[in-house]
Amino acid sequence: MRPAVTLKLATSLDGRIATASGESRWITGEAARLEGHRQRAAHDAIMVGVETVLTDDPELTARLPGRPVDQPLRVVLDSRLRTPPTARIASGGDSLILTVSEPRPVGAAVIERVEAEDGRPGVAACLAALRRRGVSSLLIEGGGQVAASFLRAGLVDRLEWFRAPVLLGGEGRPCVAALGLARLSDAPRFRRLAVAPCGDDLWERYERL
């Protein structure tokens, strides 16, 4: 049985995760970021693509005020092993890089080669690799290519979407890359579970139909 997959999005009202120049800190406010840490703590693993690592150098740890947290496995999809050895995700704590290249050392991270799909780590192969490591729940945090690959495969079970009251326009970077849809009927569909304010932002929750 594969891990349950949640896609977390933190965007502008028009679904952008960064400006054209790549600036993204911080689109959403403090309350949304705190909820994001709660979601990290509730999952066995957190996943991002290598572009997120190269742009933001995230630590991908769960940090909650006043309480210790069991840290999730930190996972990077990195086709060509471009993650720098000095990246925060490659030093300290449990971290795993899934690649289609010949494994080589990258900091303290564990490197695993998985089956390729269009030159990238195949999403089903990635989930199988995580399952072998005991992961039953996965939180995807970025970027647009990773989100699109899991959506195209029909492997996103839930959406946690935080929308900030700001517009970035068409030149901003989209939260989901191209899905290659020819027909509207092919679009991934979700059922809305809840909508609530989260500080100045809006928090929307969905599950796959």
Which domain covers residue 184, as residue numbers? 4-208
Q: What 3-state DSSP class applies to 123?
A: helix
Q: What pLDDT is stored for residue 93 in this prediction?
A: 75
Q: What pLDDT is stored for residue 47 in this prediction?
A: 98
Q: What is the pLDDT of residues 121-177, one digit of tens each?
A: 999 999 999 999 999 999 999 889 999 999 999 999 999 999 999 999 888 889 999
Rounded Cα distance between 122 and 128, Å, is 10
Cβ partners under 8 Å of residue 117, min gap 6: 123, 124, 125, 149
Q: What pLDDT is stored for residue 156 in this prediction?
A: 98
CATH number at residue 159: 3.40.430.10
| Number of Cβ within a 10 Å radius of residue 165 | 11
Q: What pLDDT is stored for residue 18 in this prediction?
A: 84
- Confidence at 190, pLDDT banded by 50, 70, 90: very high
Q: Which of 161, 114, 193, 112 is nearest to 6 (CA)?
A: 161
Whether the pLDDT of residue 104 is over 80: the answer is yes
Which residue, chain included where needed, has tokens 């909650």? 64
- Confidence at 91, pLDDT banded by 50, 70, 90: confident
Q: Which of 167, 161, 168 is nearest to 196 (CA)?
A: 161
In Å, how far from its chain's centre is CA 146? 7
- The pLDDT mean for the chain works out to 93
Tally of structural domains, the chain: 1
